[in-house]
Amino acid sequence: MVFDPKLFKYAWAKRVIPICVILGLGYIDFACFYALGYREIYKFHSHGVAISLWVILAWCEVCVIAYWVLLVVTGPGKAPRVKPFNLYSSEDTSDLTPVPDYFFCDESGYPFWCSQCQSIKLPRTLHSKDRNYCILKFDHYCVWVGTVIGQRNYKYFLNFLIWFLMFFIVTLIYLSRYTKSNYDRGTKDIDHNYIVLYILSGYWILILSSLLAAHLWYVVHNMTTIDDMNIKKVKRYSRWTSNNDKTKRKDVRKIPGEETGIRYINIRYNDTRVIVQYTLNDFPFSFGFKRNWQNLWLNNNRTNGDFTQHESSYSRKRLAISFLLFLVPYVDLVYPSRERINVSDVEKSTLDSLYSHRLIEYEQYNDRLNDKFLDYINSKIKNNEFHMPRYLSPLAEDQQSSSEGSRPDNI
């Protein structure tokens, strides 16, 4: 569902595969509703049981289609274009953004830059070639539904997984109950449609349950698929380097992509800026299960905004509501959530200029950091485990023009 073969990278495949899924659902409907529901259950067993099968499967399929449409229509969430930070304290601020208290950076202290969008990259954004813009909290491109999964449509993706999984579980339950009677009724053979249903149901139950479990794990830790892939890359690269130690037998397998898991944050300290190193396993965006879960369902998958400023927002009542939104279909469509991001989340009196407004807009999209991570960063600063940004070196002014033209495109 997520980790796709190379074939899926082609544009035509991304269009054809969702169509194949729809055609496959059409055949499954024929096999379930007619071959199993009518020809077996309705004709030889119970009209009521057959009707219950039709109603339950129809409800599941309506939910699948509805959340599929919501996935595509809602979209993954477009990141705003952020003008370059005013790292050199320039007096001409017409095309600059004030430097925030913290931002994620490369080892030299420069913020990450998207050359396609000509914008500062927000945390966990990634440029999508399919959408031609940067996606907020990019998770993955799902070829089966034909769209990008990001911040805005992630909760609909979870709903989609649940009801698609329920569809096949119900199918398998009814199928296993009435296969033997179909076999025993004189022919000593079973309807060939049943064999196909067993294969498809078993395959999709395995895939969907594994995928749902993985994404629930991501929600608990406020991770994305990209985060998980990077952590696994660290383990593979570490294992490969360990196996290729001079004292050991060399690993002849293909060299994995280099990934140490080391990241950097540029943070304000007194009257200057410092660069502090951390790792992917420090989980800077995780606020614990209770907050992470409610932020997804009640704060539109955000860790910032007015909702996060009050402890009362994370009550037991709201936790129960968030589970209701997860389990009961369509409730999330009518329950109000903090989806819109605007300057009302902060005091408008601070909007004294367009220059300061750019910083406020940036902060509305910038992910908050958890207290544990901030304490860890502050402890490293107190222990002098930091270095200065390159742009604050004596040669910074001479290198300003060249450094602005060579900002990295990495996450």
Which residues form the catalytic set?
Answer: 142
In 53-143, the DSSP E strands lie at: 102-105, 113-114, 119-120, 126-128, 133-135, 140-142
Place of tokens 């608990």: 220
State how far the Cα of 197 lies from the Cα of 185, in Å rounded to an integer.
Answer: 20
Amino acid type, 157: F
- The CA-atom distances, in angstroms, between 394 and each of 78, 266, 397 are 38, 18, 7
In terms of Cα–Cα distance, which of 296, 338, 303 is closest to 319?
296
Give the span between the Cα atoms of 226 and 161, in whole angstroms. Answer: 19
Strand runs labelled E in 228-369: 262-269, 272-279
Identity at 100, one-letter amino acid code: P
Longest dimension (CA), the chain: 92
The b-or-e profile of 134-160 (16+ CB within 10 A means b, else e) is bbbbbbbbbbbbbbbbbbbbbbbbbbb
Paired tokens of 377: 């960063």
8-state DSSP, 292: H
CA 143 vs CA 3, 12, 72, 167, 340: distances in Å: 10, 11, 12, 20, 28
Q: Which of 72, 98, 24 is nearest to 353 (CA)?
A: 98
Distances (CA, A) of 176 to 32, 164, 169, 186, 202: 12, 19, 11, 19, 12
Beta partners for 268? 273
How many residues are recorded in the chain? Answer: 411
User: What is the Cα 333 distance to its own chain's centre?
Assistant: 20
The CA distance from 392 to 354, in Å, is: 26
Euclidean distance between CA atoms 60 and 168, whole angstroms: 9
